[in-house]
Structure 1
Amino acid sequence: MKFLLFVTFFISTLSFSQQDSLFLAKIERIQSKVLNEERILNVYVPEGYHPDSAKTYPVIYVLDGSSNEDFIHMTGIVQFLVMSQQMTPSIVVGIANVDRKRDFTYPTTIEKDKQDFPTTGHSEEFIRFLETECIPFVQTYYKTNDHRTLTGQSLGGLLASEILLKKTALFNKYLIVSPSFWWNNQSLLNQFKEKSNRYKELGTKVFIAVGKEHPMMVKDTKTFAKYLSYQLDETKRNFMEFKKEDHATILHAAAFEGLKWLEKEK
């Protein structure tokens, strides 16, 4: 309920300031050569943002960022945390989906999954879109600095974990919620067993969360947190289990706590 109040207050504040219209975000359209399709970005800028100012802002990239998915909810939480001085003013970029099963999964060897989800297995292309088209676009047209956060839940959490493993430096901070490590018999999860110093060297911070969900998802997420504990100390890695939240409700609670924790300097 409290998160609904956050968003309600956020919308009310915008309505009051603009009276006759509600302006939440600018819709940007990118013709992606990598994906061979048009992609939509929903972009929120914080209060006081001005394109001619020398001030720059961190960017929070939201997977499942369509207007009818997680973009409005995440933006409301960010705005509230900024308003309550628990977070630095930030730009929020919601990456709208076209086919999340296609974009958020790597190829699987499981024949049934290939049959049930025939478009899957193209995360490599989507990651290349993020790296070579999406992020450069935002950096070109908005007042950004070098601080970037990636947020993802479920299959989005799987993709965020894949980026953490394979393209770590693409983001400084990761908010990974209920990742779908079951994909391809936990093959991505198993790759985190290998100890690496690259996260520490890059100063990467990772917040991991899971709720009262499928037992496999809970177990895999805890295993993921354990593997990262071998590579990052508690100032750079945090795990929270939200036992009162299920798969449908955990995102708000996890984002609220996770974004606050990721903001901490130590």
Structure 2
Amino acid sequence: MKYSLLLFCMLLAVAGFTQSPKPIAIGHSIELDSKELKEKRTINIYLPEGYNAEDSALYPVIYIIDGGMEEDFFHITGIVRFNTQPWINRFPRSIVVGIENTNRRRDCTFPVANLDFVEKMGFKKEQFTSYGGSGAYIAFLQKELQPYIGSHYKTSGSNTLIGESLAGLLAAEILLKHRSLFNTYIIMSPSLWWGDGSLLAQAPSLLKKENNGKLNVYVGACSKEEDKRMYDDAIALANILQKEGGAGMKVFYDYLPNEIHSTMMHQAVYNAFKLIYPGTEYQK
């Protein structure tokens, strides 16, 4: 009898661990048919805890240029979720929008007369079979994606843009040429070498054309030993923004000497949120 009871309990325990597994959902995906990009784009969306389409709460939106599930959507959403937990409450609970890439080198770069400069950076011209499409991508953000998110989700009108490397170049171009599209820019190791540094050279004059409105800008740089040119460019961008960005622009420069180009993004985004929003629930 004793052994029968033991066997029965063991069978119950095994049965408890052999139930069908349930998926863990972090968000959902939609597909937009973009007229500006002339293609369909996958958009990954995270809605914060407590999101209810029927209540009156409105939420900031954080846009990730490299926002595919195999790119940066998953881990950045984790940082956002962590920082918006009620016991931390560094900034308001936010919607996260990740834009899946199809041709990153095309979408993140502006037109140039030739590609001679890429060889200085160790690339081959053949690696850039398509480029110069940033104008269409920016139009996609402004005319299609932001209006779609605004009309389908409960947004507050506060928008953050996150980009690193070539995506950082694109984020810098948007900041300099279309400043009002976002309230906060998180720019990491931007590839300002594109166009042989022409965007950086134009930055002072571009900033003077549009230097009204309050916004936060984080500029992060990884180890200068890995890439001195990109390190110098990040410092130069931060300095120009501080000097020419106007009274409403708050600039945060961050050097991450222990991170290389491929490892910096997670730590830099975390640092950016800490610098831009220094108070937590227990520090406010």
TM-score (norm 2): 0.83
Name the structure 1 match of 2:268. Answer: 254
The alignment of Structure 1 onto Structure 2 pairs a total of residues equal to 246
The letter for the 2-side match of 1:245 is E
Across the aligned residues of Structure 1 and Structure 2, the Cα RMSD in angstroms comes to: 1.8
Name the structure 1 match of 2:43. Answer: 41
Query: How far apart, in 2, do the equivalents of 1:111 and 1:71 lie?
Result: 31
**1:81-137 deviation line (CA, Å, top 9, x unaligned):** 111211210000000001010100001223345543021111000000000001111
**Structure 2 regions of 5+ residues with no counterpart?**
1-20, 119-124, 280-284
SS at the partner of 2:265? helix
Name the structure 1 match of 2:57. Answer: 55
SS at the partner of 1:206? strand
Asked whether the 8 Å contact 1:197–1:231 carries over to 2, the reply is no
Name the structure 1 match of 2:25. Answer: 23
**Structure 1 regions of 5+ residues with no counterpart?**
1-18
Query: How far apart, in 2, do the equivalents of 1:125 and 1:197 lie?
Result: 22
Asked whether the 8 Å contact 2:217–2:251 carries over to 1, the reply is yes
SS at the partner of 1:196? helix
Name the structure 1 match of 2:98. Answer: 94
1:189 aligns with 2:203: no
Asked whether the 8 Å contact 1:59–1:92 carries over to 2, the reply is yes
1:225 aligns with 2:199: no
Query: How far apart, in 2, do the equivalents of 1:214 and 1:234 lie?
Result: 31
Larger-gyration structure (1/2): 2
Asked whether the 8 Å contact 2:84–2:93 carries over to 1, the reply is yes
TM-score (norm 1): 0.88
The letter for the 2-side match of 1:93 is V
Percent identity over the alignment is 37
**Alpha carbons of structure 1 residues 166 and 115: separation in structure 2 relative to 1, 3 Å:** same
Query: How far apart, in 2, do the equivalents of 1:101 and 1:134 lie?
Result: 20
1:214 aligns with 2:218: no
Which of 131, 150, 158 is matched with 2:161 structurally? 150
Name the structure 2 match of 1:198. Answer: 210
Query: How far apart, in 1, do the equivalents of 2:248 and 2:222 lie?
Result: 20
